[in-house]
Structure 1
């Protein structure tokens, strides 16, 4: 932010050095680093040329120019530096030699061990890639009993399960009798096998034969965002809703920009946002997701997602792009903060959730609360709140 004019970081319990890159803020008229735990040398260029000691009060580990009334920074003589450089060089050479000896010894021992145990399987490797059979899955879910039902979709049903070792899981069982279920299963397998992100639901393994298709997923004990928004017994405060939206935005950014090819989720909605033990959000259900090829900005499809969340070009012409996910994210964010579904009965052809929110005072109310948190020093949300302001506008 090269045009920054005012920077006040006092009373923030900051540690470490003051970065010299701040010297580039040539328009800075006021800065204050007082009452922190900063250390190292104070820069002297750029805006630092005009500041006084009042900007660095109660930072005992700082050093620098005498005009700041602090201790000078210690300097080492060139002779000592050269001697130290020679010693470091000798120690480095000795260390490299020792590492080479150890490496050769390790390789020899490893080769002997490999020959000795060539006929034995690597138990840890087998365990890491252990498959779950149909019978294990059936036993874990108590015969796919309705008491373990977590949710239903167009092509699948999700059950809670417990393995013999006590591991909790979610079994997403596809209804192979429904047209499109096989394609949905294959799509999820193709897309999720290479995706890795903290805000995406983790796939543990799959269980499939000619008559049965299932994905074994990481269990999310706090259920869906939809449940938390509309249950009478559960409540999300405004900060929790903001954090959940940040998690979802992080997942979508990874899908659109962090993978080798852009992935379009196509069905972003509260029931597809799962919450773990720490209330961290995970985007799930990639049954109708689309993988854009190299150079492709969009693809066409006949598959229609949930009404109310799909972008106009998707609903009318079947054109799917990352912009469709951005549209769905906007609807999701409005619904999360207002607890109004886009399909609510108050919304008619003349009134949509977008227009209702635009005309509502709730926008200013939410901004007001975020501003209060920002001013109270919630530094971890500083940059995130700025992103949310832009998204809301």
Structure 2
């Protein structure tokens, strides 16, 4: 997409249209003047945008062909020597992070479960079903966006590959988020699909406890993972479940708690060390599909 068209769609990247900023860049809402289509434009920070024009352009064309109903679609790109951006489909309901921690928004149990399943399906496609294996490297709630029907879509896939050659671990780590990073990635620089599985496990725990892995209650002696683990094996799971879920009405409260416990056990299988002991996203999706039936039965009509 031409640079001038991006400026026109976003009112010259106006701050009013700024949706958010992260480690790799800023995202703006835009409207294409010719057809009124809403878009999101991710403009990469200057330290990533300089140079590599041909390489960036070539990789963007590859990413534009990565299509799955649970991935944010990359519509086009803009590649100049000092400006690089991706044009994405717009997600009107914002990020999972905003829904988890907003004072005026909340997600019920089924919504949280469905979002988890959406993320798992996206990662399964990236890891196992796409022609080339794609490792995300930065799975976290702010990289999960919700459409008008509250269906989750994973964004920022392939971003590390746009700027760094596979194997440039030190640079790749600058785009990752430490609290969701697998231990082997942080300490040894090992990049693999199992790193994404680990990040997904952290998201599962966060979503049903409403506790960030960086919460002040966690430190050297206690992590989000250990906190939930202790509750599972100490039969105190009610103490870690998000209070908003506990006040919801269910036809079978006991079955609901068993379902959440099963989700926590699934998360623990995603968080195993060493990494080869973790389950794959294929297995994650299969287990979530089995849980879905039980969860629907236990939830209120």
Whether 1:145 aligns to 2:9 is no
Whether 1:301 aligns to 2:169 is yes
Instruction: State the shift of 1:193 in Å.
Output: 2.6
Give the secondary structure class of the aligned counterpart of 1:256. helix
Give the secondary structure class of the aligned counterpart of 1:234. coil
Give the secondary structure class of the aligned counterpart of 1:263. coil
Q: Provide the aligned length of Structure 1 versus Structure 2.
A: 244
CA–CA separation in structure 2 for the residues paired with 1:150 and 1:207: 19
Give a deviation string over 1:275-298, Cα, whole Å, max 9, x none. 0011111111132259xxxxxxx9
CA–CA separation in structure 1 for the residues paired with 2:61 and 2:89: 18
Which sections of structure 2, spanning at least 5 residues, go unmatched? 246-253, 261-284, 294-301
Greater fraction of residues in helix = 2
Matches within 5 A, 1:225-244: 225-244=96-115
CA–CA separation in structure 1 for the residues paired with 2:209 and 2:259: 19
Give a deviation string over 1:169-194, Cα, whole Å, max 9, x none. 0011122x215766799396265233
Which sections of structure 1, spanning at least 5 residues, go unmatched? 1-131, 291-297, 374-380
Matches within 5 A, 1:28-177: 132-164=1-33, 165-175=35-45, 177=46
Q: Which of 1 and 2 has greater Rg?
A: 1
Query: With structure 1 as the length reference, what TM-score do the two structures score?
Result: 0.56
Give a deviation string over 1:201-255, Cα, whole Å, max 9, x none. 1011112222321111000000000000011011000110000000000000001
Whether 1:384 aligns to 2:256 is no
Q: CA RMSD in A?
A: 3.1
CA–CA separation in structure 2 for the residues paired with 1:202 and 1:276: 12
CA–CA separation in structure 1 for the residues paired with 2:220 and 2:121: 33
- CA pair 308-181 structure 1, distance change in 2 beyond 3 A: farther
Whether 1:288 aligns to 2:160 is yes
Whether 1:369 aligns to 2:256 is yes
Q: Which residue of 1 aligns with 2:142?
A: 271
Tell me which stretches of 4 or more aligned residues in structure 1 moved more than 4 Å.
Answer: 179-185, 363-367, 370-373
- CA pair 300-211 structure 1, distance change in 2 beyond 3 A: closer
Instruction: State the shift of 1:151 in Å.
Output: 1.1
Give the secondary structure class of the aligned counterpart of 2:186. helix
Query: With structure 2 as the length reference, what TM-score do the two structures score?
Result: 0.73
- CA pair 371-341 structure 1, distance change in 2 beyond 3 A: closer
- CA pair 289-231 structure 1, distance change in 2 beyond 3 A: farther
CA–CA separation in structure 1 for the residues paired with 2:226 and 2:192: 24
- CA pair 210-181 structure 1, distance change in 2 beyond 3 A: closer
- CA pair 171-136 structure 1, distance change in 2 beyond 3 A: same
Q: Which residue of 1 aligns with 2:296?
A: none
CA–CA separation in structure 2 for the residues paired with 1:180 and 1:325: 25
CA–CA separation in structure 1 for the residues paired with 2:78 and 2:60: 11
